[in-house]
Amino acid sequence: MSRMVRPRLVARLLQQCRREVGGSSAARTPALKWPLDENTRLSTRMLDVEKHWRETTTGEGMTGPPVKNNKSTYVLSMFPYPSGALHMGHLRVYTISDVIARYYRADGHEVIHPIGWDAFGLPAENAARERGVDPGEWTKSNIESMKDQLLKTGIHFDWDREINTSSPDFYRWTQWIFTQMHRAGLVRRGMNEVNWDPVDNTVLAAEQIDENGCSWRSGAVAEKRRMNTWLIETPKYAKRLLDGLSSLDGRWHEVADIQSNWIGRCDVRRFMMPVRTRDSPFTSSSSLEFLDLRLSDPLSLPSAAFVLLSATDSLVRGDGRNKEQPYISSLEVLNVVTGRFIPIVVVPKEYLDGTSAAYGGLAPEYVLGARLSHEEADAQLAASLGLELKNEKRGGTVANMTLNDVEEIAAFGGYGGYVTSRNLMDWAVSRQRAWGTPIPIILGEDGSSSAIHAEKLPLLSEQRGRKVEGLTSSSYETDTLDTFFDSAWYYLRYLDPRNQKQLVDPSLAARHMPVDVYVGGVEHAALHLYYARFFSYFLADIGAVKYEGTLEPFKHLVPQGIVKGLTYVDETTGRYVKESDVDLSGTKPRVRVDCTTEGVTAGKELSVKYEKMSKSKHNGVDPVKVLEQDGIDLARLQLLDTSSPRAPINWGESDSSGIKRWLDRMSWVVNAYVEGRKGAERGYAAKTAAVERKEEELREAYNYFVRNVGMTLEVLHLLNTSIARLQGLTNALRKMDKEVLAHSVQAERCIYALITMLQVFAPHTAAELYAAVQQVQPIEMKTAARVSEQPWPEVDADAIIDLTLHVNGVNCGRAPVQRPLVEDLSLEELITRASTHEHKSMIDWLREKQGVIKKATTEGRKGSFITLSLEALDANGEKVSEEKIKKQLDEMAKVRIRLAREEKKKEKKKKAQ
């Protein structure tokens, strides 16, 4: 045997050993015969490929590269309500989170990607009642059905972390959180105006009422009622939660604005003023009625003579009085600072907007329809009602009160006094239904109440309303908690789902929180995220959890748009028609003669539009059928390639032909590589001049596409752009001669990078392509047994990366810079670098024209980007406004354009000479 043959034989044996170590031959051998013959297209064999690789890409056989540097990443998608059937919206949100989780796993992170069930709620209770079954059994059946469907999607969840909010093991800790809030003084029972569903006979949350004021379930018009209910004092956290958004602006995008608008301005102090009927006996424990008074000038409270209240307020709305003129109510409120009761004056609408002549040109500020009396503005009103407008003085003590005095007196009595929002109200959590977390409260016949001790939890559903053992005059609360209470903390339980002693081990929360990427519908940007943030702050306050450097539960949000379906509508009647009842043979869709849809006329022309999928619109698409017909990878690529995660999708508007052409271009590249390597002298073939000439071009392509795919996945979360970059890399390789693909080290590196990055989007296809290239001896590439074990590609040490500047949350542009110049700089050195080179113009403007840079932070990814974030103040100490920053960016852009034109003229003139 010659010297040339022996090394090649040894190399073959080593390569064969690498392919067969650690599993069956089926796990290493491709599903198809590579190189493919001219009659075989990868795009037509997707179901065969999926069947072959299913276990190693989504099941227990799935593996990953070693974890680097003890890195941990928590990727979470909003958990589903177990309705019993998946819809395309589910498939989209979980595919997005799965791609992101697979990316981090491929990049050497320990990844948490859990799933569970938001199982309590009125729909299950109603469905169970209609069918005469137990809601628990109905829910359990639906969970089994949906879990079976999810397992068919190819999405890799951590099923060992599965939770169910209707399980006593879970809601025991939901109840524990409620009791801790009760202990902290954040829970009270009182009269409150609520939205009432007269059909389902329960309170509705704001999100459960549509734009027409109707219940989302029953369709009935929601009624306003005053009810005795359990309330959580979330306004006490409003200012902190509003301020906390400043650290999230750059990552939460429009969701931060939605949260900010939901909370509102926090520039008033709240005083809860007990209400009684005039001259009736009063004790603080017996009062369930409070007037929620918000004051911008709390020092006016000690001397207030009376309170002005809008005639539309629920306290007085039904008192039977004429609301067209001011009058003194039969109710009065306790001035919580002086301890004396003062009258309530009910005023019509014109007093609230300052148009009444009684103001004499003054218009004192109303907040939530109420304010305190004003000596000048209300002189005429007081005289007409026989009320005195004078200071309440007791030896000068009241008149000399400071702001601190007012706050302390109010806080001591449990009447507030803290800074809060102008509009945010207490959270009414009581629900008059059975299928929910039982409220862990014992009610006495005398009106008293107490929270159940932690060691007695959980209070089970069947115990609601029963007498308490050993306390004959007491019974358990019958109401259950709003389901938002369950979803406000579930992200913590995923970290420690079997812990019987704590809701979560604090060390696990410290290691894995906050959630790195949270994926879900933008419709939850107000209430759900607000409550989740409130719970996170509260649990940190009592020491139950502690995150490093933050109280926020979610770092990055990826809000996803809805999936719309093709809809046929009779515009005359507004009725929706099933697709099976539509005749599409002509130029316009019409109702079929044998139509089964009620209320439509045969032959009638129909309108076609894309609307949110629903049963009533007959436009739903079964995702399981889509997967069975097209295959998992093709369905995933269609969902992800159509638009960015935030944008809505019109499902079926575009076909999969473009994706299929891309898959076939990739298979051509792999084919050329496999054919070329099989025919080459492995590692001994001399490079031709043609190959040498392409090496640098391919190296630049490798660095560009690897950097951009990582950036769009990890930072921008633009998965459609990531796919576009993979298509760009495919096109760059498709243009190369087969000789280059067979012998170029850089081409080989690009091919392996393409397949490795493809796995997060199309795991079965990537596994097949990887197995194909593994059949031949690589030129230099170090390979793993499976694509899932191949480390994520890294850019070269001297590659170009982006240095991006953010000022007060505004993106001020990115500049290309070589890695060695910036990656190892300290924060101070990076600021100096940006100030003198890449972002000199903007930072000069901030310093010279505005004021000071108060704070600077940096984040980035090695080999991809560095983001420098500055908090800049103007000369008055206020944050430089977004408007000013954007105006300066426009001016800088104009300067660049002018300079570019001048340079172009110089070049043109030089050539002419």
Look up residue 804 and give its two tokens.
Answer: 């991006």
pLDDT tens profile 792-822: 999 999 999 989 998 887 889 889 999 999 9
Range list of H helices, 152-297 = 168-183, 238-244, 249-252, 254-263
DSSP class of residue 438?
B
**Level-2 CATH architecture, domain 72-177+491-560:** 3-Layer(aba) Sandwich (3.40)
Compute the Cα dihedral for 763, 768, 770, 771 and give only its sign: positive
| Amino acid identity, position 591 | V
Look-up of token digits 């007409």: 384
pLDDT the model gives residue 744 = 93
- Distance set, CA 229 to CA 225, 257, 756 (Å): 11, 30, 56
- In terms of phi and psi (left: phi > 0; alpha: psi -120 to 50; beta: otherwise), the region of 108 is left
**Residue intervals in the chain for CATH 3.90.740.10:** 267-420
- DSSP letter at 849 equals I
Considering only the top CATH level, what class is 27-62+666-789? mainly alpha
**Looking at the chain, which residues constitute the CATH 1.10.730 domain(s)?**
27-62+666-789
C-alpha separations of 906 from 710, 855, 892, 893, 898 in Å: 39, 42, 21, 20, 12
CB atoms within 10 A of CB 5: 9
424, 263 contact by CB (below 8 A): yes
β-pairing verdict for 441-444 and 471-476: antiparallel
Instruction: Look over the chain and give the mean of its residue pLDDT values, rounded to a whole number.
Output: 88
Residue pLDDT, tens place only, 335-373: 999 999 999 999 998 888 766 665 655 667 899 999 999
Domain with CATH 3.40.50.620 in the chain: 72-177+491-560
Q: Which CATH number fits domain 267-420: 3.40.605.10, 3.30.420.10, 3.90.740.10, 2.40.30.10?
A: 3.90.740.10
Residues in contact with 446: Cβ distance below 8 Å, sequence separation at least 6, in sequence order? 473
Decide: 228 and 247 in contact? Cβ < 8 Å: no
Q: What is the percent of the chain with per-residue pLDDT over 90, rounded to a whole number?
A: 59
The answer to whether the CB of 870 falls within 8 A of the CB of 830 is no
Q: Which residue has the tokens 């034109």?
A: 901
Matching residue, tokens 């002018």: 898
DSSP three-state, residue 51: helix
DSSP annotation string for 626-692: HHHHH-HHHHHHHHHHSS-TTS-EETTSS-SHHHHHHHHHHHHHHHHHHHHHHHS-TTTSPPPHHHH
The Cα angle at residue 808 between residues 807 and 813, in degrees rounded to 5: 30
Residue range(s) of every CATH 3.10.20.590 domain in the chain: 800-900
pLDDT digits (tens, 9 = 90+) for 762-784: 999 999 999 999 999 999 999 89
**Alpha carbon distance 590, 669 (integer Å):** 47
Domain 800-900 has CATH 3.90.1640.10: no
How buried is 781 (Cβ within 10 angstroms: 0-12 exposed, 13-18 middle, 19+ buried)?
middle
Place of tokens 């039969």: 330
Residue 255 contacts residue 529 (beta carbons within 8 Å): yes
What integer pLDDT is reported at residue 55 of this predicted model?
A: 86
* Residues with pLDDT less than 70, the chain: 1-27, 59-61, 206-207, 217, 249-250, 283-287, 354-363, 391-399, 681-687, 849-850
pTM: 0.89
Q: Any bridge partners for residue 873, and if so which?
A: 852, 879
- Name the 3-class secondary structure at 521: strand
Q: What was the pLDDT predicted at 377?
A: 86
Tens digit of pLDDT for each residue in 675-692? 999 887 555 455 688 888
User: How wide is the angle at C-alpha 566 spanned by C-alphas 562 and 571, nearest 5°?
Assistant: 110
Q: In which element (H, E) is residue 206 found?
A: none
Say whether 199 sits in a helix, a strand or coil: coil
